[in-house]
Structure 1
Amino acid sequence: MRHPRVGVAILTMGNRPAELHALLESVAAQDTLAARIVVVGNGSPLPPLPGGVTGIELPENLGVSGGRNVAWQALRGTVDVLVDLDDDGLLIAPDVFTRIAAMHAADSRLGIVSFRIADETGFTQRRHVPRLRAGDPMRGGPVTTFLGGGHSLAMPMLEETGGWPEEFFFAHEETDLAWRALDAGWRIQYEPELVLQHPRTSPTRHAVFYRMVSRNRVWLAKRHLPAPLVPAYLGVWLLLTVVRTRSAAGLRAWFGGFAEGVRSSCGERRPMRWATVWRMTRLGRPPIV
């Protein structure tokens, strides 16, 4: 991929206009300019946008997956690499797009690059390191999943895999896409030098967090795992959830989501190849945890 054109997609619910403005300023300050920038109002009106930025207002909230698919469709045919950024994030270095373009230009099978998420002090939460051994957030390399807040996606990879799983709405949509990309032979790279500054948050701030996380994890297993691994994967995560969760209401919501995932449709089942299971295991994260 020679001189890849970089496009930017940002989802917003209209409740962070100051943060969105600051993010767009940091995008405009990149030394490699984005070929196109799309901001999607996910069920909300958009604030005034700078010139050259395409705004799309959706009449309803389609979730992270649905909103990102709208942005992807708007950018198809005009860019080679799509960069998704959280609307309350900030690019603190001016060479992010230059480095992204160089990485994708050097490797035609590089499907996804995961940024490092850090707060204003430079601290990276363990949950923002896309590997099991998360003690050192500065250790980059090939991984099996990526961070939703800041990443790049090769457009040919999106075409081959079919984009984001709209049924998921939010939670585990990155893992669903990552598993499909790995199974199709694409690489995923965690690059800690590419930083998206983002406020330190807890995922449980979302009211439906426990239900969606549980339901979508069941869907992941049903959609993508070879049959013998489905009970192993779900059993491991059931045990981990019971041990880790301190909220009785959270546990009730989690088990409700688990039941919903078991009894509801998750879309077409396409179990990954055993070669992909082995590849993920060699990368340090077998698909049972």
Structure 2
Amino acid sequence: MPPPLPRIGVVIVTMGTRPRELAALLASVVRQDVPATRVVLVGNATPLTDIPDDAWGLPLTKLPLTENLGCPGGRNVGLTLLRDSDACDVVVELDDDGLLIADDVFRTVQQRYARDPALGVIGFRVADEHGHTERRWVPRLRAGDPLRGGPVTAFLGGGHALSMPMLREIGLWPAEFFFGHEESDLAWRALDAGWSIHYAPDLVLQHPRTSPARHAVYHRNTARNRVWLARRRLPSLLIPAHLALWTLLMTARLRSPSALKAWWGGFFEGLRTPCGPRGPMAWRTVWRMTRLGRPPVV
């Protein structure tokens, strides 16, 4: 007799600023032909009073927070509830302005995890309302063909699935990052523990085309978190090479003096402040990532 299919849970973090988009997203979760066992809606500094407890008949749990914990911190609140209540085997996390345009996403996720017990992360393809996927949304260096799936070393935070057994082993999101590079920290820990990451372009999250630089803290946080990421996860010999390469890249890319000032401020903050527990990846993981097309120096 085949083992039971994994149960699907959902975590969505919102700040309450996109009520129309959130309502559409929840409706698209309801339409899935495999129902979620539990949907957790986390309100980052928002009371969630405009969302009824029985919204659309979902098994909905609302967790309003009095402060904004950032994206990874908010997700951790939802993941902790699902983990401690043993409510699911796989967690699908979705941006509150995303939309599942197909009704079989959860079923496809369920089947792929059932086939591969070593599967840790499935990254969805993010596309705008016209079906266009930007290069920065493709989790590989050679991003010319967004429809080419397969094993990768990274995934997008906007739409993805996470194995609960994996999370129990490697831990949750790095909440102290607040915003920026938290996906890389989790992905590198997953790969180092032997889990796989799969980019699935047939699983689509529709998402508006926006710039991450719209966030006021973007340049400072990404620089700080880049340094923290290297200090936490890279072998000592690779830290200088990683930071030197990214310093050159960002200095060439950023033309705005204010953006450069914010970036350098974050860089030095990352050097002088505690980065959290250090757990460098093994050299076998460095080699594995290199064979997958993205060594951790890049």
TM above 0.5: yes
Residue 8 of structure 1 aligns to which amino acid in structure 2?
A: V
Residue 66 of structure 2 aligns to which amino acid in structure 1?
A: P
What SS does the aligned partner of 1:276 have? helix
Residue 100 of structure 1 aligns to which amino acid in structure 2?
A: V
Structure 2 equivalent of residue 161 of structure 1: 170
Residue 225 of structure 1 aligns to which amino acid in structure 2?
A: L
Picking from 63, 75, 82, the partner of 1:56 is 63
Picking from 278, 281, 284, the partner of 1:275 is 284
Structure 1 equivalent of residue 42 of structure 2: 40
Q: Could you list the runs of 5+ residues in structure 1 that have no partner in the other structure?
A: none
- Provide the rounded CA distance (Å) in 2 between the counterparts of 1:264 and 1:8: 34
Shift of 1:191: 0.3
- Provide the rounded CA distance (Å) in 1 between the counterparts of 2:18 and 2:236: 43
- Provide the rounded CA distance (Å) in 1 between the counterparts of 2:87 and 2:38: 8
- Provide the rounded CA distance (Å) in 1 between the counterparts of 2:40 and 2:20: 17
- Match runs of 1:59-208 below 5 Å: 59-76=66-83, 77-208=86-217
Residue 41 of structure 1 aligns to which amino acid in structure 2?
A: G
What count of residue pairs does the alignment treat as equivalent?
289
Shift of 1:110: 0.2
Residue 75 of structure 1 aligns to which amino acid in structure 2?
A: L
Shift of 1:59: 0.7
Residue 19 of structure 2 aligns to which amino acid in structure 1?
A: P
Structure 2 equivalent of residue 14 of structure 1: 16
Q: TM-score, normalised by structure 2?
A: 0.96
- Provide the rounded CA distance (Å) in 2 between the counterparts of 1:186 and 1:48: 36
Root-mean-square deviation (CA, aligned residues, Å) is: 0.7
Residue 62 of structure 1 aligns to which amino acid in structure 2?
A: L
Q: Is the aligned partner of 1:5 residue 2:14? A: no
- Provide the rounded CA distance (Å) in 2 between the counterparts of 1:273 and 1:17: 44
Shift of 1:53: 1.2
Shift of 1:2: 3.2
Q: Could you list the runs of 5+ residues in structure 2 that have no partner in the other structure?
A: none
Q: Cα deviation per residue 1:219-239 (whole Å; 9 max; x = unaligned)?
A: 000000001100000000000
Question: Any runs of at least 4 consecutive aligned residues in structure 1 with deviations exceeding 6 A, and if so which?
Answer: none
